[in-house]
A = this chain, B = another copy of it.
Amino acid sequence: MNIYDVSQKAGVSIATVSRVINGNQNVSEKTKQKVLNVMQELGYTPNVFARGLGLNTMKTIGILCLDSSDPFLANAVFYLEQNLRKYGYDIILCCTGYDLVNKQKYLQLLLSKRVDAVILVGSYFLETVRKDNAYLLEAANNIPIIILNGYLSHPNIYCSLCDDYQSVFDATTRLLESGRKRVLYLYHTKSYSGMQKLNGYKDAVAAFGMSVDESLLVLAKNNMQQTQDILSKVYDEGLQFDAIMAAEDLLAVGAIKFAREKGLRIPEELSIIGYNNSLLSTACEPELTSVDNHIETLSITAVSSLMRVFEGHDVPNKTTISNDLILRGTTDFTKQYY
């Protein structure tokens, strides 16, 4: 069934039917109702392909995501979908994995599907070698590119980030102010936001008048067990630390397990702070103090920026929102440790 069937049954031309479908004002109320009735009666829905062909858009946004099973990224995808749908956009989800070749391939795929924009979820998409980002810049020549938690300065690329640098800076400072002498920094990625966090840590230590001990920067895998193992290893080798600032809740939970293994009391002998304020932070024991990076707000911001781009407004290349530290059992800032 198509627009012709409707027009015929309603006794009008297809042009009129089309006008009704698209809410064009130039239709008399009477004809409009007549057409609407017929459409209802026939259960008619416009063919999206034909419409896409004419308008060269199907109101679809591509979402590129490393791994939508990661709880943090899954949350981001969820909120993006919810908000985009409010504006009538569908999302095509596309998970790439870490491999640069796949990222390029899938971005290309989305472009070939004629999506109206692409949203990159997570700073993993920004390679450290600048020329490896060329594919993003090129894509931006065609459609708007939105980056969640990553930053790339380029026309038609819009970035929504939480202030990872500041969050880690503040959290580390609080640990130091509470009397902690040796704060270990636990991380697992050198992505854009990974580096922001690391710098926040380094600057906080320096601002506190201490020098950064490179041996306190521990690079782990994004895996609980392996994190526990690597901490055990450096601990057994004699590394001293009385607090851990982790770049991810999962790592922090690994740290809690390490503390239990070694019989270290939390928070007395070891304070721990995680990042993302995920479900994990309340599942563990003691519950985890964690940075809440407001992924919902971030997603809403990203979507509304995109809508403004579509409307032809001037949109800032970079929007930053701040985070909160949610205090739980792995820290006790009411006490002073010496």
12 further A-B pairs in the complex, CB-CB below 8 A; given A50-B53, A82-B95: A45-B112, A48-B52, A49-B53, A52-B53, A68-B68, A68-B74, A69-B74, A71-B74, A74-B74, A81-B94, A284-B285, A285-B285
Q: Does residue A75 face the partner (Cβ distance < 8 Å to B)?
A: yes
CB distance from A76 to the nearest CB of B (A): 9
Q: In the complex, which of the residues B45, B52, B85, B92 contacts A91, with contact meaning CB atoms closer than 8 Å?
A: B92
Complex CA–CA separation, A283 to B90 (angstroms): 35
Residues of B within 8 A of A257 (CB): 285
Against B, the Cβ 8 Å flags (1 = close, 0 = not) of A277-301 are 0011011110000000000000000
Residues of B within 8 A of A256 (CB): 285
Q: Does residue A320 face the partner (Cβ distance < 8 Å to B)?
A: no
Residues of B within 8 A of A112 (CB): 45-46, 48
Residue of B nearest to A69 (CB): B78
CB distance from A289 to the nearest CB of B (A): 15
Complex CA–CA separation, A250 to B283 (angstroms): 8
Residues of A within 8 A of B (CB): 45-50, 52-53, 56, 58, 60, 67-69, 71, 74-75, 77-79, 81-82, 85, 90-95, 111-114, 224-225, 250, 253, 256-257, 260, 279-280, 282-285
Residue of B nearest to A70 (CB): B74
Complex CA–CA separation, A303 to B283 (angstroms): 33
The 4 closest A-B pairs by CB, nearest first: A49-B52, A74-B74, A69-B78, A49-B53
CB distance from A270 to the nearest CB of B (A): 15
Residues of B within 8 A of A85 (CB): 94
Residue of B nearest to A55 (CB): B49
State how many copies of this chain the complex holds.
2
Q: In the complex, which of the residues B52, B67, B111, B280 contacts A279, with contact meaning CB atoms closer than 8 Å?
A: B280
Taking each of A91, A94, A250, A285, which has the highest tally of chain B beta carbons within 10 Å of its own beta carbon?
A285
Residue pair B77, A68 in contact (C-beta under 8 Å): yes
Residues of B within 8 A of A52 (CB): 48-49, 52-53
Residues of B within 8 A of A47 (CB): 53, 114
Complex CA–CA separation, A285 to B95 (angstroms): 32
Residue of B nearest to A57 (CB): B49
Residue of B nearest to A62 (CB): B90
Residue of B nearest to A95 (CB): B81
Residue pair B285, A260 in contact (C-beta under 8 Å): yes
Complex CA–CA separation, A112 to B74 (angstroms): 26
Residue pair A95, B78 in contact (C-beta under 8 Å): yes
Complex CA–CA separation, A225 to B71 (angstroms): 19
Q: In the complex, which of the residues B46, B60, B113, B284 contacts A283, with contact meaning CB atoms closer than 8 Å?
A: B284
Residue of B nearest to A82 (CB): B95
CB distance from A236 to the nearest CB of B (A): 22
Complex CA–CA separation, A52 to B112 (angstroms): 13
CB distance from A62 to the nearest CB of B (A): 9
